[in-house]
Structure 1
């Protein structure tokens, strides 16, 4: 049972790490941009960015199929570029996890950047610092704990993604079968010992993630 047992867990970890890396970059950049911008329609844009947080996973999966399916513009472009569709691939699992995890990273990053005293950044501008230097040497260090907490939460959310992944990436053992999907299949086949073993691993990992978030936030108080 060794390879069969560890495969979904390893696949979940790999998917979560890649998804977390993507949302860490995009969420940080968008969070920074939105924290310092005021424009008409900002509320609508923020609502759209946070929408995957409240949408049922099956709705997210459905929308991903519509956007990246073979008959869509994006899906056809991907087939032309890579000679295969993205659906039912490992990258489909990454994309699904990225979409559902992004709002957590974005929200944490935006709140972190909003908490920075603008006088500090303005003082740096007066001293001759450009926006790139302010971002890397002032904004990121001051918002680091918020960014770290957002990254941990995003990783945990990506790790536990089920509905959108099942619809968009499918259930292919060794390829797209993540741990949540494997648990569902084990339960469906009444293999309770295997299901409990996977559940125990996922609970342990998620517990450690939440402890890490609490420690990060406590150190900021």
Structure 2
């Protein structure tokens, strides 16, 4: 069994999860702090819409933005020497966009479950908003946030449609596990495909176990 699709998938999912973790928490906090319900609804829709769109549509939109003949893609290529399309970075970008809504929605839900009285008490005691966020909100929401990060990793690992559109199916470069399974089935190599399927099932099983563990085990315990 060729191991490169496994390594590419794990590397892609790890990097994509790192960015979804940071930007997902930031986006959730941003939406929570907005007072206008109309603006909040618009942002929430924008951040969530990749969750319901077909991955191929996401891939098509990414091609429109980062294609070498498009303004952003041309700028990145000519002035920064970065070519997104058909590169390993494209696999990370696709996985990030697809997994981001899961992290965002999970973080949002975790923040919304925090007792508002604790936050109000902290403000009464003179704590700054940044201190409240890092010392109260994040620790209390950490089980849900970690569960969201693990779920985002699993979704990044299984991303197929958007990756195929913007990154292609280049062996030893952009061929992730889902693309490897598709390629082997298309070539009639069912035995090889079954090995990759077994790997995906094993990783997914472990990921779900970890998500259940961290989702039920608070990091901050009452004294």
1:112 maps to 2:110? yes
* Distance apart, 1:105 and its partner CA: 0.1
* Distance apart, 1:10 and its partner CA: 0.7
Query: Who is 1:91 aligned against?
Result: 89
1:73 maps to 2:71? yes
Aligned counterpart in structure 1 of residue 18 of structure 2, from 12, 18, 21: 21
| Unaligned residue ranges in structure 2 (runs of 5+) | 219-223
Partner Cα separation in structure 1 for residue 31 and residue 107 of structure 2: 10
* Distance apart, 1:48 and its partner CA: 1.5
Partner Cα separation in structure 1 for residue 113 and residue 96 of structure 2: 26
Superposition pairs of residues 151-162 of structure 1, within 5 angstroms: 151-162=149-160
* Distance apart, 1:37 and its partner CA: 2.4
Query: Who is 1:124 aligned against?
Result: 122
Partner deviation per Cα, 1:142-197 (whole Å, 9 max, x = no partner) = 00011001101100000000010011001111111101000100000111111000
Q: For the structure 1 residues 218 and 84, does the alpha-carbon distance in structure 2 shift closer, same or farther, using more than 3 Å as the test?
A: closer
Query: Who is 1:31 aligned against?
Result: 28
Query: Who is 1:6 aligned against?
Result: 3
Query: Who is 2:57 aligned against?
Result: 59
TM-score, length-scaled by structure 2: 0.93
Q: Any conservation in 2 of the 1:35–1:111 contact (CA below 8 Å)? A: no
| Unaligned residue ranges in structure 1 (runs of 5+) | none
Q: More displaced, 195-204 or 42-51?
A: 42-51
Moved >6 Å (runs of 4+): none
Partner Cα separation in structure 1 for residue 205 and residue 106 of structure 2: 20
SS at match of 1:41: helix
* Distance apart, 1:209 and its partner CA: 1.0
Name the Cα RMSD after superposition.
1.3
Partner Cα separation in structure 2 for residue 118 and residue 140 of structure 1: 14
Partner Cα separation in structure 2 for residue 194 and residue 145 of structure 1: 37
Partner Cα separation in structure 1 for residue 216 and residue 15 of structure 2: 27
Partner deviation per Cα, 1:75-106 (whole Å, 9 max, x = no partner) = 12211333242100010000000000000000
Q: Any conservation in 2 of the 1:100–1:157 contact (CA below 8 Å)? A: yes
TM-score, length-scaled by structure 1: 0.94
Partner Cα separation in structure 1 for residue 212 and residue 35 of structure 2: 31
Q: Any conservation in 2 of the 1:61–1:168 contact (CA below 8 Å)? A: yes
